[in-house]
Amino acid sequence: MSKFKKFFSPNIILRKLGYKIIKDEEFLSKEFRRLTNDNSVNKIRYKIIAEKLKRDFSDNLNLRINTENIISIIDQFDQIFRKFPFKNLEGGFGYNNALMLFVFIKILKPLRIIESGVFKGFTTYIIENAAVEQTEIICIEPNEDRIKYRTKKAKYYRQDISEIRLSEKENTLVFFDDHVPHKNRLNLIKEKNFQYIIFDDDVNLSNFYHDGDPPIPTINMIKNDHPGYKTINWIYDNQKKIKNYEINEKDKSIFLDYDYYKFPELFELTGYRSSSFSSIIIKKN
Ligand SMILES: C[S@@+](CC[C@H](N)C(=O)[O-])C[C@H]1O[C@@H](n2cnc3c(N)ncnc32)[C@H](O)[C@@H]1O
C-alpha cells in the first residue's frame, strides 16, 4: 500500500480521531464484561431475586412458586446465559429480560412456544434451554440472513404469525418481539386461545419516545391509557415520528380474560439495566 493510501485508510483516520472499528463478534455486552464467579455471593444474589419474583408472581399473577425451585432456575439460567456464543446482545434482550423469559418458561412449562422476532437468535437460545424436550418451538423471522444462532429443535418461518397455519394446541406461549403494534395481535390471541403471551417493547405514554419503532399501541397502553387519541407523535434522533394510537373499549376487554404483569426492573438485584420494557399476560383460570 502506498504511503498516501495508508495515511488515508479509514482505520488510521478513525484511530487518529480516537475511534476504532470492531467486528460485531468482537463487541462484548456489559453482562459478559462485568460479573462475579464467586459461588457463595451468587447464591445470595439468586435468593434475593427469587424472593422478589415469588412475591411479584403471587401478588400479580396468582402464581405460587417455591423459593428453592426459583433459586435453582436462576442458577441454571446464569450458567446457560454465560455460554451463549455471541456476546453482542445489542438490539435484543439483555440479562434481566432473558432471565424473566427463562423463569416463565421453566415454571409455566408450555407445550408450544412461538417466537415472533428472532434477530440474531439470542432469545431462541434461551427458549431452547428453558423448554422441556417435548415442547414444540416455532421461530419467526422475515430477515433470515440475520440469524446467527439456530436450533434444530425449532421450525423456522419467514411469514408473519397471522399467515402461519397453527394447529390447535393447549398451553402455548407466544413471545412477540417483532415491533408489530401489540393491538394488532389481540384478535389472534383470542382466536387461538393462547395461554401465555410475552410482549417486548411494552412502552407507555411516559417513555415511548426512547424507541424509534415502538409497537404502539402497546399492551401497557391498552391496559392503562384512556381511549380518545387518534395519533401520537414524537421526535427520535431528529426524525419526526407519528403513529396511529386508537385504543377502544373492545381492545381493553382482553383484560377480562388475562392477567397482566410488567417485568420488573432488576438493576438493583442484578447490576444490569433492562434492555427494554417487557410484560406477560396470562389467561385467567
Ligand atoms: C428486536 S428484534 C428481536 C430480538 C430477539 N428476540 C432477541 O432478543 O434476541 C426484532 C426482530 O423482529 C423481526 N420482525 C420484523 N417484523 C416481523 C414480523 N412480522 N414477524 C416476526 N418478526 C419480525 C425483525 O426482522 C427483527 O429481527
Res. 26 pLDDT band, cuts 50 70 90:
confident
C-alpha distances out from residue 255 to 87, 259, 261, 281, 282, Å: 37, 6, 11, 9, 10
Distance 239 CA to ligand 1 centre (A): 22
pLDDT tens-digit profile of 157-197? 999 999 999 998 899 999 999 999 999 999 999 999 999 99
Task: Calculate the average pLDDT of the chain.
Answer: 93
The pTM of the full predicted model, rounded to 2 decimals, is 0.93
Q: What angle do CA 187, 193, 197 make, to 5 degrees?
A: 80
Establish if 81 belongs to a structural domain. no
Does residue 30 contact residue 271 with C-beta atoms inside 8 Å?
no
Which atom of ligand 1 is found nearest the CA of 91? 1
Mean pLDDT of all residues in 85-104:
97
Mean pLDDT of all residues in 29-39:
95
DSSP 8-state symbol, 17: T
Mean pLDDT of all residues in 46-51:
98
DSSP 8-state symbol, 142: S
C-alpha distances out from residue 214 to 199, 205, 256, 264, Å: 12, 11, 25, 19
Atom 11 of ligand 1, residue of closest alpha carbon? 117
Q: What's the CATH code of the domain at 262?
A: 3.40.50.150
C-alpha distances out from residue 134 to 110, 112, 113, 126, Å: 10, 9, 11, 16
What gap in Å lies between CA 76 and CA 175, rounded to an integer? 21
Q: Per the structure, how many domains does the chain have? A: 1
pLDDT tens-digit profile of 221-246? 999 987 678 899 999 999 999 999 99
Report the percentage of the chain scoring pLDDT > 90. Answer: 85
Q: In the predicted model, is pLDDT for residue 3 greater than 80?
A: no
What gap in Å lies between CA 71 and CA 169, rounded to an integer? 30
The whole-angstrom distance between residue 233's C-alpha and the CA centroid of its chain comes to 24
> What is the structure's pLDDT at 1?
54
Ligand 1-lining residues (CB < 6 angstroms):
91-93, 116-120, 122-123, 140-143, 146, 160, 177-180
Establish if 3 belongs to a structural domain. no
Establish if 114 belongs to a structural domain. yes
**Phi and psi based region of residue 194 (left: phi greater than 0; alpha: psi -120 to 50; beta: remaining):** beta
Domain that holds residue 204: 95-283
pLDDT tens-digit profile of 148-167? 999 999 999 999 999 999 99
Atom 2 of ligand 1, residue of closest alpha carbon? 119
> What is the structure's pLDDT at 219?
98
Establish if 32 belongs to a structural domain. no
At a CB cut-off of 8 Å and minimum separation 6, what does 30 contact?
272
Establish if 164 belongs to a structural domain. yes
Establish if 50 belongs to a structural domain. no
Establish if 159 belongs to a structural domain. yes
Distance 147 CA to ligand 1 centre (A): 10
At a CB cut-off of 8 Å and minimum separation 6, what does 228 contact?
none
